[in-house]
Amino acid sequence: MQTALRASLPETELAGRANFAPHARVVREERPVQASGLPLSIRGLRKSFGDNEVLRGIDLHIPAGQFVAIVGKSGCGKSTLLRLIAGLDKIDAGSLSFGQEIQPEDIRVMFQEPRLLPWARVLANVEVGLGRDRASSDAHARAEKALIEVGLADKRDQWPSVLSGGQKQRVALGRALVSRPRVLAFDEPLGALDALTRISMQRLLERVWRDQGFTAILVTHDVSEAVALADRVLVIEEGRIAHDVTVNAARPRQRGSAELAGLEGSILSHLLSADDRT
């Protein structure tokens, strides 16, 4: 299974790169360091739903531009943490700060479902991501640039319903990127994709993150995805951060390398031992 997947990979990667790399460089030249990441400090964060305390005191500092993955069993509170960071839910206690005043456009979220408007063409869907700048004169141009970044420039006039699952998710990524966010939160964004599409999406995520330097927070149940993408993997158990693992492997990451596999194994054993205790 592993070897079969890897054997077919170079092709996808080449195709992706041919679409992508030249444009990505153009974008970078036109918009220099402007969209750099924001640091995130969380102190004593708590959140309950009714009697159920989901987060029981989270303390966390994420430096600007770091790629952090959050893993844990279902119901451990990882998605709740992400929604609080993204400002979708209100915090009960504690503090959460980005170190400065932020605009709504600075933080974007990508969900497991692409959540595209079925009645808007691909380009219009990406324009939604501009937030308050939707009406500005360069909205089209900025949306087109974001579509080029995710390699879907040729689909700009299509309806979402004709796209494949992976393409829809790339449109959703384009919509999240178009406002040049400084923090990008991912809630299992690749959970519904097939194995191959998932791997090429992971490469795309890693590439745009390296190009744009936003702070990335990825919630996932897939530990191998976490170690393949993140600088740091947080394991959440029962509403607290149980482990904080640094991943130092060189980028771009080589999937299936012994180093990553070792890390994946140790994180998985953390998760499973927590299972045994309960």
Residues that bind other proteins in the complex, under the rule CB under 8 A? 86, 88, 104-105, 108-109, 111, 113, 115, 117-121, 128-129, 131-132, 159-162, 175
Percentages helix, strand, coil for the chain (3-state, rounded to 5) are: 45, 20, 35
Cis amide bond preceding 252, omega within 30: yes
Distance in Å, CB of 175 to other proteins, minimum? 8
Comparing CB distances to other proteins, the nearer of 9 and 124 is 124
Least distance in angstroms from the C-beta of 230 to other proteins: 23
Tell me the pairing of strands 232-237 and 215-219. unpaired
- Token duo for residue 10: 């170079």
Parallel, antiparallel, or unpaired for β 40-49 and 93-97? antiparallel
Instruction: In whole angstroms, give the CA distance from residue 233 to residue 231.
Output: 7
Helices within 195-257 (DSSP H only) = 195-212, 223-229
Residue 139: CB minimum distance to other proteins, A:
13
Contact between 38 and 98 under an 8 Å Cβ cutoff? The reply is: yes
Rounded least distance, CB 81 to other proteins, Å: 17
- Token pair listed for 53: 């305390």
Among 116, 191, 127, residue whose Cα is nearest residue 161? 116
Q: Which is nearer to other proteins, 22 or 104 (CB)?
A: 104
C-beta of 201: minimal distance to other proteins in Å? Answer: 19
Q: In angstroms, give the least distance from the CB of 178 to other proteins.
A: 10
Any residues with CB less than 8 A from the CB of 137 and at least 6 apart, and which? none
Query: Any idea what DSSP says for residue 257?
Result: -
- Which CB sits closer to other proteins, 113 or 238? 113
CA–centroid distance for 33 within its chain: 20
